[in-house]
Chain A
Amino acid sequence: MRTFLAIAVLGGGVAHATVGSALRIADVAPDIPLIVVVLLALRRGPEFGCGAGFVAGLLQDAATGGLLGVQALTKAVVGFAIGVVGSRLRVSQPLVQVPGLVLLSVLEGLARFGLLQLFHFPAPFGELMTYVVLPQALYNGFLGAALVLALAWAETLKDRTP
């Protein structure tokens, strides 16, 4: 299980820059590490979510050549927050999953933008939200929901196997 988690976190962080491009639709790619962190945080709690977010974000920063620490921090915060509130949400429902992940992605985008503003990132807010954050948030919502359903289906199959 620990190996799987390690692969999920590390792989998710690095895969985003390589495999993620294959999932691009209309030039919008999903934030796979964010989805992985959210899913792990829901199952393992805030500490694990925070750690997983930090590692995945850091690797993503390194893999994409961005400022080290930006995504590490935002994803750590997201992982922590989801770990805290996750137990109170009915996350098995797609009607919660999709908007939940969309909202989380938007919040993560806003946090990332705010953080980058602190370090003099020049991108205009409106364009960034319209062309990057919101489309990616929508994509994350649907892809995350699909992943949750796939995992639930896999677990059902596993339980049925004698």
Chain B
Amino acid sequence: MRIRALALLGIVAGVCLVLLTLQMRGGAGLASEALAVVTTPVQTVLARINRATLGVWGTYRDWKNVRTDNRRLREETQRLRVEALRVSETDAENQRLRRLLALKESLPLETMAGEIIAREWGGWVRSLTVNRGRGDSVVRLTAVIAPDGLVGRIIDVRAGSSIVQVLTDPASNVGAHVVRTRTPGIVEGEPRGTLRFKYMARDGGGLRVGDMVVTSGLGGLFPGGIPIGRVRTIDDRGAALFSYAQVTPAVDFARIDEVLLLIGGAVRDVASSFKGDG
């Protein structure tokens, strides 16, 4: 057995050395050709299988990569959206606070900034809760304004917060006049959340749609000249004692976040602080 194996090894070695020697002398081309006849078709088949397998594998990997990329891009998009929202929110807040600050600085009254922390919008009552209370020396009936105009008055003061009765509250009424005609009247809240201007005028007062209604300053509660809203429709009742006009509020009460509380100073006309809106 061992001899046979050694003989086989010897033969193999001999054949190989002969092949090598022949090649070095430029021969053995026939052997190469003969082997190529066997190897080439096998290689062709294997290469095709290889390519097909690699193709499937490559497709799978591409698909996986696309899926991974897709997931990554979705997360990135989500993150950027949140970031954009945060930035735009900050930007909007910045704008609001800038306006509030500008108003605060332009007002000839002592003011205190407050943040809206709750809203009651049920219809029976329309109020906002502001984060300023007894601890901040807030007193009842303090006027509350925003850069766009009048918000309402404080009707309840608590330790760390206060309740603001909004102009659209059905129990709210504010002495007002129309800027263009100086027509005096009262702005009342309505249960449906709108405002109406109630005024005495034999000839309808000459009101027009779009006229600005501001606080009159009478009664000593609100300074004069604070924008309340613009006349939307006029209900001229002819010879009736009172006429009415629907008013669109100057302030969007549902979206307001920061307000100013007028906490001190002599009550006077502050129309010049809102002249951009009048």
Contacts and interface: CB of A to CB of B under 8 A. Distances in A.
Interface of A: 10-11, 14-15, 17-19, 21-22, 45-47, 50-51, 53-54, 58-59, 61-63, 67-70, 72-73, 76-77, 80, 83-84, 115, 118-120
A80 B28 CA distance: 25
Size band of the B side of the interface? 20 to 34
Contact of B23 (A22, A59, A67, A115): A67
Contact of A18 (B8, B15, B47): B47
A19 B42 contact: no
User: What is the interface of chain B mostly: helix, strand, loop, or mixed?
Assistant: helix
B35 interface: yes
Contacts of A17: 43
Given A10-B42, A50-B8, A80-B5, A69 B19 contact: yes
B66 interface: no
B159 interface: no
A47 B8 contact: yes
Given A14-B39, A18-B50, A22-B54, A67 B5 contact: no
B204 to A, nearest CB: 93
B5 A47 contact: yes
Contact of B13 (A22, A47, A76, A118): A76
Interface in B1-28: 1, 4-5, 8-9, 12-13, 15-20, 23-24, 28
A14 B28 CA distance: 20
Interface of B: 1, 4-5, 8-9, 12-13, 15-20, 23-24, 28, 31-32, 35-36, 38-39, 42-43, 46-47, 49-50, 53-54
Given A62-B32, A69-B17, A73-B16, A15 B9 contact: no
Nearest to B36: A62
Contacts of A19: 46, 49-50
A84 B1 CA distance: 11
A120 B43 CA distance: 29
B20 A68 contact: yes
Given A63-B43, A119-B23, 6 more contacts: A11-B42, A19-B50, A54-B15, A62-B38, A73-B16, A115-B20
A69 B15 contact: yes
27 contacts: A10-B42, A11-B46, A18-B43, A22-B50, A22-B53, A22-B54, A45-B5, A46-B9, A54-B15, A58-B35, A59-B35, A59-B38, A63-B39, A67-B23, A68-B19, A68-B28, A68-B32, A68-B35, A69-B17, A73-B12, A73-B16, A76-B13, A80-B8, A84-B5, A115-B20, A118-B20, A119-B23
B36 to A, nearest CB: 6
Given A14-B39, A18-B43, A68-B35, A54 B5 contact: no
